[in-house]
Amino acid sequence: MKRRLLYLDRIIIISVFFVIFLFILFPIIQSFYFTFIEEKDAFKVFSDLIVEHKKTIYNSILLACLTGIVSSIMSVFVGLSLSFSKGIYYRFLKAVMFIAMISPPFVMSLTYINLFGRNGFITKEILNLSFNPYGLMGVLIIQSLSYVPLSSLMIENACYNLNRDVIDASFDLGKSFFQTLRKIVLPLLWPSIKIVFILNFMKSISDFSTPQIIGGKFQTLASESYLYMVTEGSLLKACILNIIIFLPCIFIFYFYKKYNDSIPTNNYNKMSDLKMSGNVLRFVKTIGFVITFVILLEYLSLVLEAFTKGRIRDLNFTLEFFVESHMYLRYSFLRSIIYSLFASFISVFLSSVYVYAKRTINSAFIKKFDYISMLPFAIPGTFFGISYIYAFRSYPFYLTGTATIIIMNMLFKQFPLSVSSLEDGVNRMDMNLFDAVLDTGRDRIYILKDVIVPLNLRYIFLGFVNTFIKSMTTVGSIMFLVYPGTKLATITLFDVINSGKYHVGSVIALYIILFCTVISLICKYIFNRLEKKDE
């Protein structure tokens, strides 16, 4: 009996590690192999492309740096506002950020034109400016605004982890809010700010849709790589450009891991009860509010786009787009939901076993393997999709055209986040509990079943919801993997927007947002009920 369980434990762990390797590292290896080794003159094509795209490379890196900086600054403002607010205002800010985290692709760029274009609602009607929204500025603004929700929640979390004693001491000594902020809070937040910068840098450099829609003359490696697929039908060139994006990401990723491991996660101190005042505080809260309001406006504009017709001056309410959208969503919406659910459930299983293995087995191999499991953070979406084509188009892993390849792709793109989320929880656990299980004479695998999973349900649910939402809204990676029989809602959205059916696109986006919100609320409810049962 004991032996059986021992083998079970080993078999499960080995299979999980194999699956992780197969769906994360193997595709990358295959892409490099087919791009550089199989293809003759590969290095010549590579160097020619680099020379041809010198400007594009410069654009990508410049944009990524600027977006990283601007979004970090914005997130600090909003994150601080969140931690210093309470009551209804706090709930308002938090609600906007949560809904804004579900951002279906493309729609933000389009609402941006509606609001800030030459004839935009804000620029023309309210401010009466004639503003050219295209180019670097536009892309920078849109990207930064879309990264603020997640980043500001990260900053808020970091604030809760600050050592309250030091902050209290500072106020007790009579220091003003500004001085405390400058000398204590910001320096303590600095590692998290660096993390936010890195994450947003990587997101920006991988973004292909925003420069396409509002870049105008300003194009990046990601948008150009997509164009190569569409115009020349050259998978090779698209892959090479993606590899060029991948390289700085890998480099930066190393720093990400270093900083992330040094962030404390054990405290939880609310800051909203501190008695603070002063102009600086008011300034921070105002900016935080303005940013939140602009984000809210984008979503309201989406609702307007979905249910009205005509110019801003004389809008007509209509349900025709709502009705029309059903024709487009017929099969693809349900399919998106099913695939995302599969991805989320399997992800929960895989990440739990992975974290369990990491924590209970002391092995250098497993520590090195961590880099592989975290790798999807650094891989641009389009590259991840293209590499799956290279990896799974022939035996023994013939998966192109199937549902599996899409589900696995969605799952593993989010794998690092599921793992980090669960690790967050496991880090807070008392390690003695692990020993306790072994002390009672049971096998190691019961640590997974009786300790890790039950005590970290909150983090497992978080991982589940996050994977679900990201899977529902992903487009870059699965774009190259879909077949007529596996079409998803975001692909439909992409097509509808490309056909100029703006209004219908807004309805589809709203459907996606609504459904993701519903699932999050359901999970929250289930989780709360489970917690109550324990009490």
- Which residues make up the interface to another protein (CB under 8 A)? 8, 55, 113-114, 117-119, 133-134, 212-213, 215-217, 219, 223, 227, 229-235, 238, 309-311, 327-328, 330-331, 342, 345-346, 349, 389-390, 393-394, 399-404, 407, 445, 449, 480, 482-485, 487, 491-492, 494-500, 502
Q: Which lies closer to another protein via its Cβ, residue 469 or residue 482?
A: 482
Q: How far apart are the first and last CA of the chain?
A: 34
Our CB check for another protein shows the closer of 441 and 500 to be 500
* Nearest approach, Cβ of residue 165 and another protein (Å): 44
Nearer to another protein, 96 or 445 (CB): 445
CB of 441 to another protein, least distance (A): 14
CB of 220 to another protein, least distance (A): 11
* Minimum distance, C-beta of residue 489 to another protein, in the bound complex (Å): 12
**Please, which residues bridge with residue 317 across strands?**
308
CA–CA gap between residue 190 and residue 406 (Å, rounded): 37
Q: For another protein, give the closer residue by CB, 156 or 298.
A: 298
Using alpha carbons, select from 367, 375, 449 the residue that is nearest to residue 412: 375
Q: Is 322 exposed, middle or buried (0-12, 13-18, 19+ CB in 10 A)?
A: middle
Minimum CB distance to another protein smaller for 150 or for 389 = 389
For residue 164, the minimal CB distance to another protein (Å) is 41
Which residues 6+ apart lie within 8 Å of 224 measured at CB?
53, 56, 241
Q: Bridge partners of 309?
A: 316
Inter-residue contact 61 to 248 (CB < 8 Å): yes
Pick the closer one to another protein by CB: 224 or 423: 224
Q: What is the C-alpha to C-alpha distance for residues 489 and 473, in angstroms, rounded to an integer?
A: 8
Q: Which is nearer to another protein, 74 or 229 (CB)?
A: 229
- Nearest partner of 337 among 494, 516, 103, judged by Cα: 516
Nearest to another protein of 238, 460 (CB atom)? 238
Distance CA 314, CA 475 (A): 34
- Shortest Å, Cβ 272 to another protein: 41
- Give how far the C-alpha of residue 482 lies from the chain's centroid of Cα atoms, to the nearest Å: 21
Q: Which of 326, 464, 483 has its CA nearest to residue 404?
A: 483
CB 309 within 8 A of CB 494: no
Residue nearer to another protein on the CB measure, 227 or 457: 227
Q: Which is nearer to another protein, 498 or 528 (CB)?
A: 498
Smallest separation (angstroms) from another protein to the CB of 5: 8
- Shortest distance (Å) from residue 505 CB to another protein: 11
CB of 263 to another protein, least distance (A): 33
Instruction: Report the alpha-carbon distance of residue 224 to residue 230 in Å, rounded.
Output: 10
CA–CA gap between residue 144 and residue 133 (Å, rounded)? 15
Helices 279-307/87-101 angle, 10° precision: 50
Nearer to another protein among residue 234 and residue 517 (C-beta): 234
Q: To the nearest whole angstrom, how small is the minimum distance from the Cβ of residue 526 to another protein?
A: 17
3-state SS of 278-322 is CHHHHHHHHHHHHHHHHHHHHHHHHHHHHHEECCHHHCEECCHHH
Residue 238 Cβ vs another protein, minimum distance, rounded to whole Å: 8
As a whole number of angstroms, the longest Cα–Cα distance in the chain is 78
| Residue 52 neighbours by CB distance under 10 Å | 11
Token pair recorded at residue 360: 């209970």
Residue 428, classed as helix, strand or coil, is: coil
